[in-house]
């Protein structure tokens, strides 16, 4: 069984697998940082020895044909709990045929290593969604503000697995092609030949419609135990979690449904059978499930796979600021004429923000409510007319934009002057 050690302070995950022909690849999960001595661990990467063994041969197909069809283009996606309750048995019966175990192989012969996660089919063409860290050699990525000395693997240096296989509930195990992977969202798009396979595609829902308290079900392969079901609720929305880069995933869903190593890439399903998130990591002090898991929101997943389907890559916009959230008490302390927003602390050199004349903090730092605050920078109060209220609103709105987009940024300068500034966004890849 895979044993993982997590510590705060920027230490990477250590994996100690059982001896096997395909030992777990060291460092393939992401060491994520949190405060209060809590570590965030990717929920995916158990070794192939953790998976239950089976006799399905590579490339063998069942005789039945896929009977499901793709959802109609433009169909409305609504993710709300039904009034009559939560039928976990019914959800499992409907969804299990679309959930797969994903196995990745790196290298060959005696030097081969492997990892295992989960995934789900999204259409009759045989496209499958999973996490990028399930099918790549992703090393530890941490928040540079918390651990500036920690080296991270640049997205362009990530390598995908040499071989990937997916296994269905009827034990058919077939090879899969990696269409592309998106380290910023930790999403990968796979493709199989669907001929002769029996599966039911799952439909992505609208994660922005998910409310705290919504019942959810997670289906996947924790510790290699295929087609496992766990249930719970969405315990929080709009969380900010680490990706495989220095940029964070905004709008993530938090759940108390049990998420363990091997669940990564599997679906988080709402009462209507819609996938509202892709299970990605757990919040743990022990390396096991502690009752809090996180999922990449379905809307970001949809945006990611749309890009990956086009050319195997996903592009994200970049403005080039670091900021702290403004809240009413801090606004009063700084005499800012807005209760919420983003207080700019740093403007990156040669960034869109610098070109637009946005200003970062000066040399003065104050202590407020026990926290050091760099002051003197501009305050961003809205983007394209949408006011910044939530802590991650700025990051979310920039993520929703595209490189090259021109956005209207309303700022309050240090002297109190309000101004509308046009900013042309760059690409994260070129920044």
Q: Which residues are catalytic?
A: 133, 186, 264
For 225-279, the three-class secondary structure string (H helix, E strand, C coil) is: CCCEEEEEEEEEEEEEEECCCCCEEEEEEEECCCCCCCCCCCEEECCCCCEEEEE
Q: Tell me how far apart the alpha carbons of residues 65 and 97 are, in angstroms, rounded to a whole number.
A: 13
Residue 365: phi, psi to the nearest 5? -130, 130
- CA-CA distances (angstroms) from residue 301 to 154, 184, 187, 277, 278? 21, 11, 7, 8, 8
Please give the distance of CA 257 from its chain centroid, rounded to a whole number.
17
Specify which residues 418 forms β-bridges with. 412
Q: Tell me how far apart the alpha carbons of residues 91 and 257 are, in angstroms, rounded to a whole number.
A: 15
Q: Could you tell me the end-to-end alpha-carbon distance of the chain, in angstroms, rounded to an integer?
A: 40
- CA-CA distances (angstroms) from residue 153 to 115, 143, 248? 18, 12, 15
Beta sheet of 173-175, edge-to-edge order? 173-175, 163-167, 99-106, 113-121, 127-130, 187-191, 177-182
For residue 106, the SS3 value is: strand
Please give the distance of CA 341 from its chain centroid, rounded to a whole number.
25
Give me Rg for the CA atoms of the chain: 22
């Amino acid at each position: 069984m895979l044993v993982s050690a997590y510590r705060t302070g920027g230490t990477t995950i250590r994996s100690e697998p059982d001896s096997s022909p395909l030992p777990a690849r060291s460092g393939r999960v992401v060491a994520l940082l949190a405060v209060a001595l809590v570590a965030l661990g990717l929920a995916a990467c158990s070794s192939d020895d953790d998976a239950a063994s089976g006799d399905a041969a590579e490339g063998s197909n069942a005789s039945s044909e896929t009977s499901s069809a793709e959802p109609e283009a433009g169909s409305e996606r609504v993710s709300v709990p039904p009034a009559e309750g939560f039928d976990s048995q019914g959800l499992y019966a409907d969804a299990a045929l679309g959930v797969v175990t994903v196995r990745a192989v790196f290298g060959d012969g005696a030097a081969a290593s492997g990892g295992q996660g989960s995934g789900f089919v999204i259409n009759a063409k045989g496209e499958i969604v999973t996490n990028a860290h399930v099918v790549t050699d992703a090393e530890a990525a941490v928040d540079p503000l918390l651990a500036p000395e920690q080296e991270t693997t640049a997205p362009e240096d990530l390598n995908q697995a040499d071989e990937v296989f997916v296994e269905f509930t009827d034990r058919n195990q077939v090879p899969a092609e990696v269409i592309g992977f998106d380290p910023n969202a930790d999403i990968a798009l796979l493709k199989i030949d669907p001929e002769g396979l029996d599966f039911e595609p799952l439909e992505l829902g609208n994660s922005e419609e998910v409310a705290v308290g919504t019942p959810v079900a997670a289906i996947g392969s924790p510790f290699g135990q295929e087609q496992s079901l766990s249930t719970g609720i969405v315990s929080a929305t709009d969380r900010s979690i680490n990706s495989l880069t220095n940029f964070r995933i905004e709008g993530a869903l938090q759940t108390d449904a049990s998420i363990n190593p091997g669940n990564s890439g599997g679906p988080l399903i709402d009462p209507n059978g819609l996938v509202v998130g892709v299970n990605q990591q757990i919040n743990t002090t022990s390396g096991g499930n502690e009752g809090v898991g996180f999922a990449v929101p379905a809307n970001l997943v949809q945006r990611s796979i749309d890009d990956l389907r086009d050319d195997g890559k996903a592009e994200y916009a970049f403005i080039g600021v670091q900021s702290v959230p403004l809240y009413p008490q801090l606004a009063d302390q700084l005499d800012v004429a807005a209760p919420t927003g983003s207080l700019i602390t740093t403007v990156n050199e040669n960034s869109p923000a610098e070109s637009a004349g946005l200003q970062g903090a000066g040399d003065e730092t104050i202590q407020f409510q026990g926290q050091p605050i760099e002051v003197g920078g501009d305050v961003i109060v809205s983007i394209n007319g949408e006011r910044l209220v939530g802590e991650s609103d700025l990051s979310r709105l920039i993520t929703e934009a595209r490189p090259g987009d021109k956005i209207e940024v309303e700022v309050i300068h240090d002297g109190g002057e309000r101004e509308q500034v046009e900013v042309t966004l760059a690409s994260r890849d070129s920044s």
